A = this chain, B = another copy of it.
Amino acid sequence: MNIIITGAAGFLGQRLAAALLQNNVLPFERLILADINTPRPPLEDARVRCVALDLSQPQAAETLIDADCGVLFHLAAIVSSHAESDFDLGMQVNFDATRQLLEVARHKAPAMKFIFTSSLAVFGGELPALIDDGCAVTPQSSYGTQKAMCELLINDYARKGFVDGRVLRLPTISVRPGKPNKAASSFASGIIREPLHGEAAVCPVSPELTLWLSSPGRVVQNFIHAATLPASAFGVSRTVNLPGISVSVRQMLAALREVAGEQVSSLVRFEPDEAINRIVASWPGNFDVRRALAMGFGADEDFQQAIRAFLRDEQAQGEG
């Protein structure tokens, strides 16, 4: 059995690949890491194959998937602000490429577990204070729209037995390592990461804005868990709102102060950015995730933990 990760050069792809190689929760023969530029293997391991593949090209899915593929983690995407500024590219990569992967899986490997990373960005507009599984998706971004369309398609492919699809709606991930990116939520890591590195950071949204967050380590555990569950665990819908923690920006900075001190947390200044705020403020800040918890998905204990996990990861990487 082989496992494929798309978007494997990205930071979650690298974390997921490392976790799959290190623990043996999901046994496999080959781990195929695909991205638009050849990804690096996170560890030296004879089971890894790295391939450069532009998923927006017509034959890409056909090249990637064969009958030996047991699990596909489809992480590749054009992120939110980028998909908003380039609608056509977003459609091509976030929607068309996903559809192409589904079609090839349907014909070559219908038993494949197709794990799709959706997002809380499918929600927007007038929302209840607490989102549950019965809540309508009314995305206020093209990114959210494209993800929501894929969710529908994957559920139909699963219902028809074309592919064993599973959809995970990710919370905003914080604290991400590395550089800011074109995601509208990039600040949610930047306002923690940059100060911890002694650098100033700009917060484009109000301190009162509440976010639904997950640490990268926790979300990677949830990815792998999604691939180990039987299809029957999902019931009538293959879409799951992943657990997270509901934290305001003010609480995030208080957690930063608690973990790293006043001097660090004071490196953040507020400079409202309407374009970012319009997208991020349309996302929900709290979910009823009893179904996901009952299925065995997990959340961080609190945001302090997420900051400490980030510091531990950085230290481990510095030593590695």
CB distance A236 to B152 under 8 Å? no
Q: How large is the interface on A (under 10, 10 to 19, 20 to 34, 35 or more residues)?
A: 20 to 34
A145-B155, A153-B145 known; A236-B136 Cβ under 8 A: no
A142 contacts B128, C-beta separation under 8 Å: no
Interface residues as binary, A34-56 with B (CB distance below 8 Å gives 1, 0 otherwise):
00000000000000000000000
Q: Which residue of B lies closest to A135 (CB)?
A: B136
Residues of chain B within 8 A (CB-CB) of A133 are 136
Flag A221-258 by CB within 8 Å of B: 1 or 0 each: 00000000000000011000000000000000000000
Interface mask (A67-96 → B, CB under 8 Å = 1, otherwise 0) = 000000000000000000001000000000
Known contacts A87-B160, A149-B149, A160-B87; is-contact A236 B155 (Cβ 8 Å): no
List B contacts of A160 (CB < 8 A). Answer: 87, 142
A139 to B134, alpha carbons, bound, how many Å?
13
A156 at the interface (CB under 8 A from B): yes
- A274 CB, nearest partner CB in chain B, Å: 16
In the complex, chain B residues whose CB is within 8 Å of the CB of A128: 134
CB distance A145 to B152 under 8 Å? yes
Smallest CB separation, A135 vs chain B (Å) = 6
Contact indicator B87/A138 (Cβ below 8 Å): no
Within 8 Å of chain B (Cβ to Cβ): is A319? Answer: no
With the chains together, A236 CA to B148 CA distance in Å?
A: 17
For chain A, residues 85 to 134, give those with C-beta under 8 angstroms from any C-beta of chain B. Answer: 87, 125-126, 128, 133-134
Which residues from B are CB-within-8-Å of A152?
A: 137, 139, 145, 148-149, 152
Q: Which A143-160 residues have a C-beta within 8 angstroms of B?
A: 145, 148-149, 152-153, 155-156, 159-160
CB-defined contacts of A153 to chain B, threshold 8 Å: 145, 149
Of the residues B134, B156, B162, contact of A136 by C-beta under 8 Å: B134
Contacts of A156 in B (CB 8 A): 139, 142, 145
A150 to B128, CA, bound (A): 24
The verdict on A14 contacting chain B, using a C-beta distance below 8 Å, is no
Task: State the Cβ distance, A235 to closest chain B Cβ, in Å.
Answer: 8
Given A145-B156, A149-B153, residue A236 in contact with residue B87 (CB < 8 A): no
**Chain B hits for A149, CB < 8 A:** 149, 152-153
Check if A140 is an interface residue, CB within 8 A of chain B. Answer: yes
Residue among B126, B136, B140 making CB contact with A159, cutoff 8 Å = B140
> Can you list 6 A-B contacts (CB < 8 A)?
A87-B162, A125-B236, A128-B134, A134-B135, A138-B155, A149-B149
CB-based closest 8 A-B pairs: A145-B156, A125-B236, A149-B149, A145-B152, A134-B136, A136-B136, A148-B152, A149-B152
